[in-house]
Homo-oligomer: A and B are copies of this chain.
Amino acid sequence: MGYQLELRHFHYFLAVAEELHYRKAAERLFISQPGLSRQIKQMEEILEVELFVRNKKKVALTTAGEYLKGELQFLLNHLELTKKQLTLVNEGNFGEVRIGFLGSAMQNVIPDLLIRLKEKFPQIKTSLEELSNTAQLEAVIKDSLDIGFVRLARVPAGLFIKPVFEDTFSLVLPKDHTVDSVNFKGIGQVAKENFILFAQDYSPLYYDTIMSICEDAGFTPKVSHKSVHAQTIFKLVENNLGIAIVPTSLQYGFQMNVKFIALSHIPQRAVLSVIWKEDNRNPALRHCIALLLNE
């Protein structure tokens, strides 16, 4: 009866909720399966709520379990941040901002931000992690990331999104391609080529934008390869496996043997945006956002 909820329960519950498999969850936690079973059961008794349905060899979350999973992920992430901040406060420093970003943001925006952050708030530390659009979205919601740099048109309620960098698109061609910046008239000239694009689920907005560019030129592109790494795309173009359209700023920062033709005459732009959560309690975040938007 008189048991108390403890953080241990939360860690155990989350392990099971994520694995949906007691034995695997127990392994991950370095404890035995029966011990885990008992603790979860106890947790259900304390909360007086069924968290899992386990009939017919299947483990699944109940609605209540689903809700609790989200809240506990938030709570534990927030607790982790608090611990970090605590040692910083203890050392007389004041905070850490956890930043996620798409590879392409590393060319301009991120280095810029880091330099100005160091100038103005030398007491704020940063941690950087390269992640996909969707991974950043989830991480920001779950409070394991403070801000993300993404290419998205809109975000779920509870998040803020603000554009921070607009870039033209460029056509990427092999060095020996007949089209060059002198005789280039419009992308209609390369309508027959194979296209190499960033994968759709990696960046839906990018994909749709490229499609609209081609539509405007009156053709539907034949897509032969998809990738999530700029480097790969350039290598493929270099080896005559197709051509690409990418944000212009990607032409800096890679070693490659291809030519870029800026499509500055078309209206579409590659927009990089910051996202963060309305209810993020990290005080260092406010400074970081202010730095990004004002000035």
Contact = CB atoms under 8 A, between A and B. Distances in A.
Given A7-B4, A279-B278, A279-B280, A79 B75 contact: yes
A74 B83 CA distance: 14
Interface stretch (A85-93, A202-210, A219-227): A85-93
Interface in A82-111: 82-83, 85-87, 89-90
A281 B74 contact: yes
A75 B74 contact: no
- Most chain B C-beta atoms within 10 Å of own C-beta, residue among A6, A7, A74, A90: A90
A192 to B, nearest CB: 52
Interface stretch (A16-24, A44-52, A167-175, A238-246): A44-52
A124 to B, nearest CB: 15
B86 A63 contact: no
Interface string A61-91: 0111001100110110011001101110110
A-B pairs, top 10 by smallest CB distance, nearest first, are: A279-B279, A64-B90, A71-B82, A6-B6, A49-B90, A67-B89, A64-B89, A6-B7, A7-B7, A279-B281
